[in-house]
Structure 1
């Protein structure tokens, strides 16, 4: 069906536009030089395995992006350029005393040398790659102890590998922004299963690592699939201007809540004249609502915090770096970089609201919005990870919600019921299939995909419909400038023709020990099957001896209500145990070592009402 010919704001330019690397790409000619600047050494081979020998990271698989001289027809040239810049791997010097390991996971691990050792910032997704990154650093900078850890924000690629650089009981400061734990849990545990399942689409997990499949994720190549952990913070940053001396190095923090994460912070190293922008200013337009799912971000606040960073730190900075991509050196270059990042988020916010207040919906605004020429040409705000299209829709959603105001859209049928009705309305499946093919042949793969999807949902076993939809999605994906659009399209095509691949990791299980007791009970409540529990009533008093805390849980009208320090301690069952025993009990280890008073059958009644989440639920099929 050919690649999709769409505009940049809607994901990229397609149409088989292969050519020399950089053909048609916006860009700063210095990007390649900056991506290579400060190179010390690469991990060779670029493969990391877990204790069982399973490969959890393979940067060598993406070497084709650096070696190739020609962009293939199956990749958008602008995304190809971005991917080649991200594919660099190894240890890099940012400035004296500040190093980064890049290309060993989706994110960068930054190492700030102190008086006694090294401060690790954002220790990647999993402990195996974090340990390999630290080993690479030590091979070239000496056996420095890790003297502190800094989490810039609560996304898993910025904390999940912490146990690869420190032990769970090590007495070193672990620094994070206020409300870090709250949001680490809400994204990775409460909604963790759904987000990880969507994350498989986000990363193109089951597609081949080659020019027909995975080429990039916009921020980096892909995510590692090793062991995820979390050491809770011991030092909380609560305000802009807060200074902390970590291993003799002065960190000046800037709080940026509601930007790339609900809890996030930048920091400045005055003596090193270096500014870390966390994930608030990378070499891409970022997501205002990530396609894997998250809370909608605040474009207006994001723009304002970028302006505040310019005001606070520009005069004292010779280099700006982030938790993804490569640094920018030179005060004039930093000003341009941060100013254009600031202006992009501000422009998208204000123009979306202007057009919204003229009566346009999010979908309509996304089709009509135009960018200023300077921003259209600026490579570092290109739509490789976020896009203007889904960014505009996110801003609309933040203010107006999911409903566009048209009453015809207020109570639509769900996808399978719609599919059945589309088949009937078109006069049968053959006619709906023919219509989808005709729109594809006419150069409108977007509508062809919509019609074919209705047919797939109405007749899930229709092989021709699946094949057509997979072909159309492949064309849309291979034409996309935006990496996550590409990955979603290609992963969808993969799952239309093949079984759903097992999900790589389970964050909910790996983070359980870091949860507070309240968060543990929250996670149980989310799993209660409401209709099955309608007529059940049960109450349990939980005495946590190691924490000196008492909680009461009550199952009432299908909801598990829980609260600490209850006045009413008259319950069906009282359990006296430690937090570790609570986690063990929930994992099915029984009541060994737990003191139980009252009706022990209450616990079995409660656990019988819990649904197990499905990490492989279908997305492109019913």
Structure 2
């Protein structure tokens, strides 16, 4: 249960938050048409893909002391569920069917769908629901606003690929979409997926003591993730198109919330679509599951461009998360708030860094100005001031704080025993840790108990006490990503790393992965110690798409180059790219393709076997906290073919 210190903290927050500002609640309800009779959406595989009912504890009308009051407010706002009108007889949204919203623009003959959610099942349910309520219309176009999975993964629920290929429906996306939709999350995909257990609280119970929200939506759907390649890319900074009688101007905003992202303005409706660039919450500059650090200044500048180009004209602003804002004054208020908060984050952090504040100190000194603290659209639900401020320094100055003592540090496992010995042993640390916990000094307790857990991973009493500390810290956090991380760590400290297998990538994502990207991943999978002394060259030829690659093993490193063939290779491997995809997706092996005549080896097979012998299969259940891994892994990773690529991590939510 929340301690008295946590209860006092939450009560203090209730006194300082701008809770009298109820405009978000009014806007979140505006335009409501209907909600479906069901609260769950089933996946084709038989599991529950989506479950709003599991969060209905939030609608009891009571304050929970185990939830930061600002987060509880956001979690209630994200309980919107059903069909909403944004612009009369023109723009509609289905909200609460997935982490994102799915938006429907009414054209002359059919629907233009913006961001078809994460899974086929939730998107299909949304399309069926709007057709039931407003009349059946075909989908004539789909727009992917950006390259994260909750904005394209449900495309097969709203459009048939045959209709896309025949031209009956088109798919639009920002330039660079396909590359970033796949590449951003492949190289470290296994690690990202494991870390998502913390950021997204995958296994936390949905309760006041566990998962309550994901800040820009309730959660991520668990169904079939698909991908159909766009038929047209928006390449210019600004590009105007008319589709099915609907005029649209696209604004490319690369390097903001996603590497490839675009806003859209509808001049005839005076409606501005802000994608995931303006969602009424401060987003991640650094995403805790793992991602490249983003550029908050570029983000701010793209918002500013949108403000001056569209914000002074628009009557409504809607986005791929949260709820619309109506009225030009309100739109400009939210746009300026979000513009300023990203610019302030960039500028103030660098201001302090130029005065000597380091990456290990900035999170204790960076604060938003009071004028922004009083704006709900400046609250860090998805990001947090603590980890975003550190990210800015990391972007510009890197992880080193310029103290030589931290340049070549001992690993935590090596340093912890020294600390424990110097502190007088486990009993003294436990006693002090309990004292600090009972005083509500949770960060101080964490500092010493974490050392003990690293030094003595088998000390369950220490892990349990650290879990108690983590729980109270989690309860006090406004950001669900930070809350989930502490609560999920407490779960694993008490119960160990969960067993089971992570979801595998579907054929759409594998098909979208370039051969070069797959070869790069093999280079990452290579155990360099096993490759010591190996030296050879392999040509890879895929006739059906006309690609050639040279693969070299030298200096315990596997490299590749596209568009070349070695004159005297040790081995040439020839197979169609379509058959290679079967290997990449784990649905066939090279040996099976050789046996069926679909692959050919010209040269010494030994070199292929040498490559295979060096490849590691990454365990999906590695420890994040010492002493939490069972002695025998329950994950079935050992039987995986080493040429099967690890599925890209789920980028839902950015």
Q: TM-score range by the shorter chain?
A: over 0.9
> 369-378 or 340-349: which moved more?
369-378
**8 Å contact kept, 2:114–2:142:** yes
Task: Check the 8 A contact 1:437/1:468 in 2, yes or no.
Answer: yes
Partner of 1:595: 600
Match of 1:85 in 2: 77
The answer on 1:355 being equivalent to 2:352 is yes
Q: In the aligned structure 2, how far is the partner of 1:4 from the partner of 1:76? A: 14
Report the counterpart of residue 537 of structure 1 in structure 2.
Answer: 535
Kindly state the Cα deviation for residue 584 of structure 1 after the two structures are TM-superposed: 2.2
Whole-Å separation in 2 of the counterparts to 1:513 and 1:22:
53
**What is aligned with 2:138?**
145
* Alignment CA distance shift 1:280-1:240 (3 Å): same
For 1:508 and 1:292, locate their aligned partners in 2 and report how far apart those are by CA, in whole Å.
21
What does residue 572 of structure 1 align with? 570
Name the CA distance, whole Å, in 1 between partners of 2:4 and 2:366: 19
Contact map agreement 1:423 1:458 (CA 8 A) in 2: yes
Matched, 1:308 2:297: no
Where do residues 217-616 of structure 1 align in structure 2 (5 Å cutoff)?
217-501=214-498, 502=500, 504-507=502-505, 511-586=509-584, 587=586, 588-589=588-589, 590=592, 591=594, 592=596, 593-616=598-621
Q: Measure, in 2, the Cα distance between the counterparts of 1:494 and 1:198.
A: 14
Q: 1:526 to 1:162 in 2, by over 3 A?
A: farther
Q: Report the CA distance shift for 1:14/1:290 in structure 2 as closer, same or farther (over 3 A).
A: farther
- The alpha-carbon deviation at position 291 of structure 1 amounts to 1.2
Aligned length: 614
The 3-state SS of whatever aligns with 2:395 is: helix
- Alpha-carbon spacing, 1:28–1:127, altered in 2? closer, same or farther (3 Å): same
Once the two structures are TM-superposed, the CA of residue 538 in structure 1 deviates from its matched residue by 3.4
Residue 29 of structure 2 corresponds to 36
In the alignment, structure 1 residue 51 sits paired with structure 2 residue 44: yes
Distance 1:216 1:585, change over 3 A: closer
Once residues 466 and 41 of structure 1 are traced to their aligned partners in structure 2, the CA distance between those partners, rounded to angstroms, is 48
What residue number does 2:210 align with?
Answer: 213
In 2, Cα distance between equivalents of 1:196 and 1:508: 15
Moved more, 43-52 or 295-304: 43-52
| Aligned equivalents of 1:156, 1:57: Cα separation in 2 | 16
> How far off its partner does 1:62 sit?
1.1
C-alpha change, 1:273 and 1:433, in structure 2 (3 Å) is same
Distance in 2 between residues matched to 1:304 and 1:218, nearest whole Å: 24
User: Matches of 1:225 and 1:504 in 2, distance apart?
Assistant: 11
1:540-580: CA deviation from partner (whole Å, max 9, x where unpaired) = 22221211222221222222211122152421222222112
Q: Determine the structure 2 residue equivalent to 1:126.
A: 119
How far apart are the structure 1 equivalents of 2:571 and 2:161? 33
Structure 2 equivalent of residue 73 of structure 1: 65
Distance 1:559 1:143, change over 3 A: farther
Q: 8 Å contact 2:539–2:565 — kept in the other structure?
A: no
User: In 2, distance between residues paired with 1:503 and 1:4?
Assistant: 39
Q: Distance in 1 between matches of 2:4 and 2:561?
A: 53
Tell me the distance in 1 between the aligned counterparts of 2:405 and 2:506: 38
Which string of whole-angstrom CA distances, capped at 9 and with x for unpartnered residues, describes residues 391-431 of structure 1?
A: 11111111110001111111111121122222212122112
Cα distance in 1 for residues equivalent to 2:15 and 2:236:
42
Structure 1 Cα separation of the partners of residues 106 and 618 of structure 2: 43
Instruction: Check 1:420–1:25 CA distance in 2 against 1; reply closer, same or farther (3 A cut).
Output: farther
* SS in structure 2 of the partner of residue 189 of structure 1: coil
Q: Is the 8 A contact 1:275 1:320 kept in 2?
A: yes
The 8 Å contact of residues 15 and 479 in structure 1, kept in 2 or not, is answered as: no
Return the alpha-carbon distance in structure 2 between the equivalents of residues 526 and 143 of structure 1. 48
Shift of 1:523: 2.2
How far apart are residue 596 of structure 1 and its match?
2.5
In structure 2, which of residues 177, 191, 195 is the aligned counterpart of residue 194 of structure 1?
A: 191
Q: How far off its partner does 1:2 sit?
A: 4.8
d(CA) in 2 for partners of 1:358, 1:510: 49
Mark the CA change 1:19 to 1:216 in structure 2 (over 3 Å): closer, same or farther. Answer: farther
Match of 2:110 among 111, 117, 120: 117
Q: Distance in 1 between matches of 2:415 and 2:575?
A: 51
- Bigger shift: residues 366-375 or 545-554: 366-375
Partner Cα distance (1:4, 1:571) in 2: 71
Deviation at 1:266, TM superposition (A): 0.8
Q: Secondary structure at the match of 1:63?
A: helix
Give SS of 1:200's match.
Answer: helix
The answer on whether the counterparts of 1:575 and 1:595 sit within 8 Å (CA) in structure 2 is yes
* Inter-partner Cα distance in structure 2 for 1:27 and 1:195: 39
Question: Deviation of residue 240 (structure 1)?
Answer: 2.0
For residues 451 and 380 of structure 2, the distance between their equivalents in structure 1, rounded to whole angstroms, comes to 29
User: How far 1:16 moved relative to its partner?
Assistant: 5.8
Unaligned runs of 5+ in 1: 6-12
SS in 2 for 1:493: helix
Q: Quick check: 2:225–2:506 contact (8 Å CA) kept in 1?
A: no
Mapped to 2, the partners of 1:525 and 1:193 lie a distance apart of 15
* Structure 1 pair 618–267 and aligned structure 2 pair: CA distance change class (3 A): same
Q: 1:347-368: per-residue Cα shift (whole Å, max 9, x none)?
A: 1111111111111113423222
- CA shift, 1:14, in A, is 6.2
Give the whole-Å Cα distance in 2 for the aligned partners of 1:227 and 1:467.
Answer: 37
Name the counterpart of 2:631: none
SS at match of 1:111: strand
* Distance in 1 between residues matched to 2:188 and 2:181, nearest whole Å: 11
The gaps in structure 2 that reach 5 residues or longer are 628-654
Q: Distance in 2 between matches of 1:497 and 1:364?
A: 30
DSSP 3-state at the match of 2:580: helix
In the TM superposition, what is the alpha-carbon distance from 1:373 to its structure 2 partner?
2.0
Give 1:8's aligned residue.
none
Secondary structure at the aligned position of 1:560 is classed as strand
Change (3 A) 1:597 1:464: same
Work out the CA distance in 1 between the residues paired with 2:109 and 2:581: 37
Aligned-residue CA RMSD in angstroms? 2.2
Q: Cα–Cα, structure 1 residues 386 and 527, in superposed 2: closer, same or farther, change >3 Å?
A: same
Q: Does 1:104 align with 2:102?
A: no
2:646 is matched with: none
